[in-house]
Amino acid sequence: MTSLDETGPSTPLKRPIRWHILIFLFPALLVYTAVMILPLFQTLWLSLFNVVDDQTVFVGLGNFKTLFGDQRWAADFWNALKNNFIFFVIHMLVQNPIGIALAAMLSIPKLRLAAFYRTAIFLPTLLSFVIVGFIWKLILSPIWGVAPWMLGLVGAKSLFAPWLGLPHSALITVSLISVWQYVGIPMMLIYAALLNIPEEVIEAAECDGVTGWSQFWKIKLPLILPAIGIISILTFVGNFNAFDLVYTVQGALAGPDGSTDILGTLLYRTFFGFQLQLGDRSMGATIATVMFLIILAGVSLYLFIIQRRIRRYQF
Amino acid sequence: MSKARTSHLRSASVHLALGAYTLIALFPVFLTIVNSFKNRNAIFRAPLQLPGPESFSLIGYQTVLKQGDFIGYFSNSLTVTCVSIFFVLLFGAMAAFALSEYRFKGNTLMGLYLSLGIMIPIRLGTVAILQGMVATGLVNTLTALILVYTAQGLPLAVFILSEFMRTVSDDLKNAGRIDGLSEYAIFFRLVLPLVRPAMATVAVFTMIPIWNDLWFPLILAPAEATKTVTLGSQVFIGQFVTDWNAVLSALSLAIFPVLVLYMIFSRQLIRGITSGAVK
């Protein structure tokens, strides 16, 4: 690829090689290629090999066959994939609608305290997963009793359960913690999109008697669809690559009983090893490859199908 | 008259909803900080009360500062984040300038190649990255983290900065050329100062994921001497699960720097996000 830049401009005028272009591009290209692109492809390549009798041999798609079909691996893998999918669905159904609703309210003109609300709601996004994970672990802990006490205030104390410890509610709880942390991002992006709608469009709508809710649904929502597309794909990539929160709240084993195991934690355990399980580089690379393909599929779907169908309005 | 009343009602309900959500967003942070200044009894008996004269206690902070090397972790995080941001901005701006200023064969292709990394997370290459770091002896050094984070930050930086550099006037650059400035001088002395607001935006976008990352410190630099704040507090809090004073104090210590930085830079940050940097 670099050989292309050494050639001169497309103009017929004969000019010397423009070294400065190469010098401007070189550092970024070097770091980016060496630390990101090459390892990525090397990982994909590694997934085709495995260690047999202390020898690294080419096994083709054998690792994938093991991952999808072997009793020991398949159960863990399909469980993690299913959980990851639920994790994503909860984000799409809870995080993004709340983010849009908050942004819609914040963008009301001349709203008092808007700057304060915006600043406060965005704060959790800046905290690390470790802080967020531990804070919620403490709050939801039956030992401290803050959560049951608060439920008691609304007369629902009996509803309290150690949600993080129960297999059927742990995944939902972890997802909601993640939603709590990240709602600021869709809020901000949608807020920005709403601010970019020109005054004239809104005024024209008001002249036609379209106000309030119907204005939001009929005028503003279609105009911010591209931004909603972007937050959806950001959520998708972020979720299928998530690891930190589950690791902090539930540990590398993603308990109870693997009920919060997602692809990121499975990759960590497989590749790096945990407790009695030894690290397995080939299977780690295989899981990373599957994650890569999932993310690639999602991004391509967005770029080539969804983004082209969304109608963009030029003002 | 009735229209005025409904609009009052509407704005009241909007404030109610936003206020309620603000409370949800702030409450956990508030609860942690308040309780970190209380003694054990008060933490459990009245978690929502502000620390009073008889419940005030700094025992948690004493435990934390005695046992954990928080200052060391903090300086590691600061080094990694600052150096990475510096390289992301420098290399990113240089590449963005090359892509936006010059027309050469492969320009579009290069732009596409560099923006691959915006959507594909660098984490997926971890297996080979660790292998490479082991081969070059960089495991458990801050250099390994700086390299990874620089690579991670570059794609978005190049993307945002080249959008901004296209808006710098050509007349200005050509005037510089006529005055005999070299291409390097045009970049460093004319263009860079003009895109400073965009650089601030990129710096913030780059900083947050680096400061908060747990994955790469855990895998590439888990040694005591190279732990970052995020990994350090993760390990530290894990050891003290039963010492509530220490846990709450450690959490508060990890929150403070972020809180202070946010209070100083929140305007800049929010303006950066909403100014259409992400289109």
Domain with residue A115: its CATH number is: 1.10.3720.10
The alpha carbon of residue B215 is apart from the nearest alpha carbon of chain A, in Å, by 7
Using alpha carbons, list the distances in angstroms from residue A94 to A129, A177, A182, A235, A282: 19, 11, 11, 12, 36
Interface residue B121 vs chain A (CB under 8 A) = yes
A189 and A263 belong to one structural domain: yes
Lowest-pLDDT range of A103-117, A119-133, B1-15, B84-98: B1-15
Domain ranges of chain B: 2-57, 69-277
* Structure-token pair, residue A143: 């030992």
Q: Which of residues 205-234 of B touch A (CB under 8 A)?
A: 208, 211-215, 219, 229-230, 233-234
Residue of A nearest to B94 (CA): A24
> In this predicted complex, what is the ipTM?
0.84
Check CB contact under 8 Å for A196 and B152.
no
What average pLDDT is seen over chain B? 86
A227 and A259 belong to one structural domain: yes
SS3 labels along chain B: CHHHHHHHHHHHHHHHHHHHHHHHHHHHHHHHHHHHCECHHHHHHCCCCCCCCCCECCHHHHHHHHHCCHHHHHHHHHHHHHHHHHHHHHHHHHHHHHHHHCCCCCHHHHHHHHHHHHHCCHHHHHHHHHHHHHHCCCCCCHHHHHHHHHHHHHHHHHHHHHHHHCCCCHHHHHHHHHCCCCHHHHHHHHHHHHCHHHHHHHHHHHHHHHHHCCHHHHHHCCCHHHCCHHHHHHHHHHHCCCCHHHHHHHHHHHHHHHHHHHHHHHHHHHHHHHHHHCC
pLDDT category, B278, cuts 50, 70, 90?
very low
How remote is the C-alpha of A276 from its chain's centroid? 30
Quick one: angle between helices B142-165 and A19-31, nearest 10? 130
A284 and A253 belong to one structural domain: yes
**Among the CATH numbers 3.30.420.40, 1.10.3720.10, 3.40.50.300, 3.40.640.10, which is that of B69-277?**
1.10.3720.10
Interface residue B116 vs chain A (CB under 8 A) = yes
A16 and A72 belong to one structural domain: no
pTM for this model (two decimals): 0.86
A281 and A172 belong to one structural domain: yes
* Structure-token pair, residue B168: 């710098």
A60 lies in a domain? no
Chain A residues lying within 8 Å of B32, measured CB to CB: 135, 138
Provide the β-strand partners of residue B56.
B38
A72 and A15 belong to one structural domain: no
Q: Which of residues 129-158 of B touch A (CB under 8 A)?
A: 129, 131-132, 147-148, 150-152, 154-155, 158
Mutate which: A105, A126, A146, A280, vs B, most B CBs within 10 A? A126
A32 and A77 belong to one structural domain: no
| Residue linked to tokens 């959500």 | B21
The alpha carbon of residue A91 is apart from the nearest alpha carbon of chain B, in Å, by 17
pLDDT digits (tens, 9 = 90+) for B70-83: 888 889 999 999 99
A192 lies in a domain? yes
A140 and A266 belong to one structural domain: yes
A287 and A230 belong to one structural domain: yes
Chain B residues lying within 8 Å of A209, measured CB to CB: none
* pLDDT at residue number A306: 79
Please name which of A95, A303, A94 lies closest in space to residue A183, comparing C-alpha atoms: A95
A38 and A112 belong to one structural domain: no
A59 lies in a domain? no
Rounded CA-CA distance A169/B34 in Å is: 29
Question: Can you give the residue range of the structural domain that contains A31?
Answer: 2-46
* pLDDT at residue number A81: 95
Residue A83 clears pLDDT 90, i.e. is over it: yes
Check CB contact under 8 Å for A28 and B248.
no
Lowest-pLDDT range of A97-101, A125-129, B236-240: B236-240
* pLDDT at residue number A113: 87
The count of domains in chain A is: 2
A162 lies in a domain? yes
Amino acid at residue number B221: A
A39 and A136 belong to one structural domain: no
Are the beta carbons of A263 and A177 closer than 8 angstroms? no
Instruction: Please give the angle made by the CA atoms of B126, B129 and B134, to the nearest 5 degrees.
Output: 125
pLDDT digits (tens, 9 = 90+) for A160-210: 888 888 888 999 999 999 999 999 889 988 988 888 888 888 888 888 888
A51 lies in a domain? no
